[in-house]
Chain A
Amino acid sequence: MSAREGTTPAPAPRPHRLGAVRTVLASLALALALVATMMPVIASDTMALGLLAFPLLAAMVLAAVIVLAPYRLCLLRGPRAAGLLAAVSYAMAFVLISLIAAHPGQAGSGFWALVVVAWAIAWLSVEEMAGLKPRQPLWGRAIALAIPLTFGAWLLILWQVLVVGFAVPKVLLPPPSDIWVRLIASPEVLWADFRQTFLKGVLIGYALGCGAGFLVAILVDRVPFLRRGLLPIGNLVSALPIIGVAPIMVMWFGFDWPSKAAVVVIMTFFPMLVNTVTGLAAADRMQLDLMHTYAANYPQTLLKMRLPMAMPFVFNALKINSTLALIGAIVAEFFGTPIVGMGFRISTEVGRMNIDMVWASIAVAALAGSLFYGLVTLAERAVTFWHPSVRR
Chain B
Amino acid sequence: MTIEALTAPPSRSPFAGLMQGTAGPVLVVVAAIIAVWYLAAVMLNAPFQRDMYKRGGIEDAPLAQLVADTLSQDRPVLPAPHQVAVELWDTTANKAVTSKRSLVYHGGITLSSTLLGFVLGTALGIGLAILVVHSRVLDKSLMPWVISSQTIPILAIAPMIIVVLNAIGISGLLPKAMISTYLSFFPVTVGMVKGLRSPEAIQMDLMKTYSASPAQALWKLRLPSAMPYLFASMKVGVAASLVGAIVGELPTGAVAGLGARLLSGSYYGQTVQIWSALIAAAVLAATLVALIGVAERLALKRMGMRR
Contacts and interface: CB of A to CB of B under 8 A. Distances in A.
A362 B263 contact: no
A220 to B, nearest CB: 10
- Interface size classification for chain A: 35 or more
A82 to B, nearest CB: 12
A236 B22 CA distance: 14
Contact of A226 (B25, B247, B281): B25
Contacts of A148: 140-145
A330 B156 contact: yes
B35 interface: no
A127 B201 contact: no
A250 B285 CA distance: 23
B139 A244 contact: no
A355 B289 CA distance: 36
B3 interface: yes
- Interface size classification for chain B: 35 or more
Given A130-B140, A232-B22, A247-B266, A297 B1 contact: yes
Interface in B98-155: 132, 135-137, 139-145, 148, 150-155
B157 A226 contact: no
B174 interface: no
Interface in B1-22: 1-3, 5-9, 19, 21-22
A343 B29 contact: no
B25 A144 contact: no
Interface string A126-154: 11001100000000000010011011100
Nearest to A349: B160
Given A5-B201, A323-B151, A342 B274 contact: no
A241 B197 contact: no
B19 A251 contact: no
A15 interface: no
Contact of B6 (A150, A288, A365, A372): A288
A228 B152 contact: no
Contacts, number: 201
B137 A7 contact: no
Q: A21, A144, A301, A342 — which one has the most chain B CB atoms within 10 A of its CB?
A: A301
Interface in B270-307: 271, 274-275, 277-278, 281-282, 285-286, 289
A106 B53 CA distance: 73
A6 B197 CA distance: 11
B266 A335 contact: yes
Interface string A361-387: 110011001101100000000000000
A346 B197 CA distance: 40
B82 interface: no
B140 A147 contact: yes
A330 B204 contact: no
A342 to B, nearest CB: 7
- What is the predominant secondary structure among interface residues of chain A facing chain B? helix
Given A172-B167, A244-B246, A370-B151, A150 B139 contact: no
A247 B3 contact: no
A298 interface: yes
A292 interface: yes
A367 to B, nearest CB: 9
B77 A251 contact: yes
B145 A229 contact: no
A347 interface: yes
Contacts of B26: 228-229, 232-233
Contact of A228 (B25, B136, B164): B25
A241 B282 contact: yes
A184 interface: no
A123 B242 contact: no
B30 A323 contact: no
Given A229-B26, A335-B266, A330 B153 contact: yes
Contacts of A172: 164, 167-168
B249 to A, nearest CB: 11
9 contacts: A5-B201, A225-B19, A228-B21, A228-B26, A244-B281, A292-B2, A331-B247, A347-B251, A366-B151
Given A173-B164, A239-B236, A358-B160, 15 more contacts: A6-B204, A126-B140, A130-B140, A148-B141, A226-B25, A229-B26, A230-B25, A244-B259, A244-B278, A247-B262, A248-B271, A326-B153, A355-B160, A362-B153, A369-B152
Interface of B: 1-3, 5-9, 19, 21-22, 24-30, 33, 77, 132, 135-137, 139-145, 148, 150-157, 159-160, 163-164, 167-168, 193, 197, 201, 204-205, 208, 235-236, 239, 242-243, 246-247, 250-251, 258-259, 262-263, 265-266, 269, 271, 274-275, 277-278, 281-282, 285-286, 289
- Per CB-CB distance, the 3 closest pairs between chain A and chain B, nearest first, are A229-B25, A247-B266, A6-B201
